[in-house]
């Protein structure tokens, strides 16, 4: 094992639900091996209340949660990023932000629970399903042998993870 901590950024458009959930999950599942952040290309300015409720119900702390711009992570003095994952849903015709530079990146699109409609129970279910999908993908990611896998093979695995349902 290595003591290296990998910096990961989850990107979405609004940074109010999906990328926030992914940040929380990786910071828990990554057990100190990963430092996750999230941001949006057009931040909503607030975290969706259902995302906060879900995180609290799953015993995540939420004091850290805020909707922020990807500009915070693009400045010259920002921490080096090892991985950037977009979690917006291309099937919903959303514009997914692209990240310039050299971090490994992949698209892990999931439906936007903030766009869910219906009863409160249906909306909460949409948030729960988004959490489930992201949790599965992030769990696979954290189990990869990052120190012993080649860059091309790692990129293939990252792309495959984005197809995990």
pLDDT tens digit sequence for 121-154:
999 999 999 999 999 999 999 999 999 999 999 9
Give the per-residue pLDDT at 102.
78
Active site residues: 12, 88, 96
Give the per-residue pLDDT at 67.
96
In b/e form, how buried is each residue of 34-68, taking b as 16+ CB within 10 angstroms?
Answer: bbbbbbbbebbeebbebbbebbeeeebeeeebebb
Give the per-residue pLDDT at 2.
56
Residue 1 lies in a domain: no
Pairing mode of beta strands 83-86, 6-12? parallel
Give the per-residue pLDDT at 3.
79
CATH of residue 100's domain is 3.40.50.2300
Q: What are phi and psi of 63, to 5 degrees?
A: -60, -30
Domain that holds residue 145: 6-161
State the Cα angle at 165 between 31 and 83, rounded to 5°.
Answer: 45
- The parts of the chain modelled with pLDDT lower than 70 are 1-2, 90-101
Q: Specify the pTM.
A: 0.92
Total count of domains within the chain: 1
Give the per-residue pLDDT at 1.
47
CB 81 within 8 A of CB 7: yes
């Amino acid at each position: 094992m290595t003591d290296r901590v990998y910096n990961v950024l989850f990107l979405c458009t609004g940074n109010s639900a999906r990328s926030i959930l992914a940040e929380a999950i990786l910071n828990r599942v990554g057990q100190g091996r990963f430092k996750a952040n999230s941001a949006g290309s057009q931040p909503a300015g607030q975290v969706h209340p259902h995302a906060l409720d879900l995180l609290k119900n799953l015993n995540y702390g939420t004091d850290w949660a805020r909707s922020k711009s990807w500009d915070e992570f693009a400045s010259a003095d920002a921490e080096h990023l090892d991985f950037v994952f977009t979690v917006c849903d291309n099937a919903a015709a959303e514009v997914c932000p692209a990240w310039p530079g050299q971090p490994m990146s992949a698209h892990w699109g999931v439906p936007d629970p903030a766009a869910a409609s219906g009863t409160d129970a249906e909306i909460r279910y949409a948030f729960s399903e988004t959490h489930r999908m992201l949790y599965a993908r992030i769990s696979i990611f954290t189990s990869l042998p990052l120190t012993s896998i080649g860059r091309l093979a790692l990129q293939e695995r990252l792309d495959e993870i984005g197809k995990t349902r």
